[in-house]
Amino acid sequence: MNLGAHNKNERHLTEKLSTSGFRFTPQRQSVYDVIMHKRDHPTAEEVFIRAKKQMPEISHATVYNCLDALVKSGLIRQVQLERGATRFCPNMEEHCHYHCGACGKVFDMALPKNFTDMPQPKGFKADHYDIAVHGLCADCAGKRKN
Ligand SMILES: [Zn+2]
Ligand SMILES: [Zn+2]
């Protein structure tokens, strides 16, 4: 990542946090960087392990607090794909999650422009979409055949 992009990212983070009444902290920056760096939909535990590499003194509670602030500020979203751990995704465009049930990989796929045309209950006002497709990724589907 070049420095320009990083500064822009930091300004964006500060603005979004303050609009939702949160202060900018180095810990929040660090947790956000972790999620932006490797967009593989990590769980809170995985974020904690990665954040600790940059900031060895960061605590579990702080990471949870940071994730909460980032979600409430609209910088990341929570994703629930299977029973158990919540995952975190920094892609705030409406998109679809393809989840591999064998290796657990999650792929972001853009939704077609007209996806909101799909049938909805009469009078229903949708405010956000949470669309997931479950199956096997190419690698895992290939393994099954052999
Ligand atoms: Zn995603
Ligand atoms: Zn897989």
- Residue 12's CATH number: 1.10.10.10
- Which of these ranges, 43-47, 94-98, 119-123, 127-131, has the smallest mean pLDDT? 127-131
- For residue 81, CA distances in Å to 39, 41, 60, 133 come to 15, 10, 22, 9
Query: What is the per-residue pLDDT for 77?
Result: 95
Cα 98 to averaged position of ligand 1 atoms, centre (Å): 9
Q: How far is the CA of 105 from the centre of ligand 2 (A)?
A: 6
Ligand 2 center from residue 43 Cα (angstroms):
17
Task: Among 87, 108, 137, give the residue marking a domain's end.
Answer: 87
Please report, for residues 53, 64, 66, the alpha-carbon distance to residue 27 in angstroms, rounded to integers and kept in the order given.
12, 11, 7
pLDDT for 14-41, tens place per residue?
Answer: 999 999 999 999 999 999 999 999 999 9
8 confidence band (pLDDT: 50, 70, 90) = confident
Q: Which residue has the higher pLDDT, 82 or 67?
A: 67
Q: Which of 4-13, 45-54, 115-124 has the highest mean pLDDT?
A: 45-54
The predicted pLDDT at position 127 comes to 85
CA of 146 to the centre of ligand 1 (A): 30
Domain termination site, one of 49, 68, 87: 87
Note down the domain range covering 68.
3-87
Closest ligand (CA of 102): 2
Which pLDDT value is given to residue 1? 45
Ligand 1 centroid – CA 96 distance (Å): 7
Residues 125, 65 share a domain: no
- Which ligand places an atom closest to the C-alpha of 132? 1
Ligand with the closest atom to the CA of 99: 2
Q: What is the CATH number of the domain that holds 98?
A: 3.30.1490.190
Q: Are residues 80 and 129 in the same domain?
A: no
Domain count along the chain: 2
Q: What are phi and psi of 86, to 5 degrees?
A: -75, 140
- Tell me 91's DSSP state: -
**For the segment 44-78, what is each residue's pLDDT rounded down to a tens digit?**
999 999 999 999 999 999 999 999 999 999 999 99
Q: How far is the CA of 32 from the centre of ligand 1 (A)?
A: 15
Predicted local confidence at residue 4, as pLDDT: 54
Distance 63 CA to ligand 2 centre (A): 28
- 13 is written with which tokens? 């983070």
Q: Which ligand is nearest to the CA of 107?
A: 1
Co-location of 63 and 12 in the same domain: yes
The helix/strand/coil state of 97 is strand
The secondary structure element, H or E, covering residue 46 is helix 44-54
Q: What is the pLDDT of residues 96-109, one digit of tens each?
A: 999 999 999 999 99
- Residue 146 pLDDT: 57
Going by the DSSP 8-state scheme, the letter that residue 22 receives in this structure is -
Stretch (H or E) spanning 16: helix 3-19
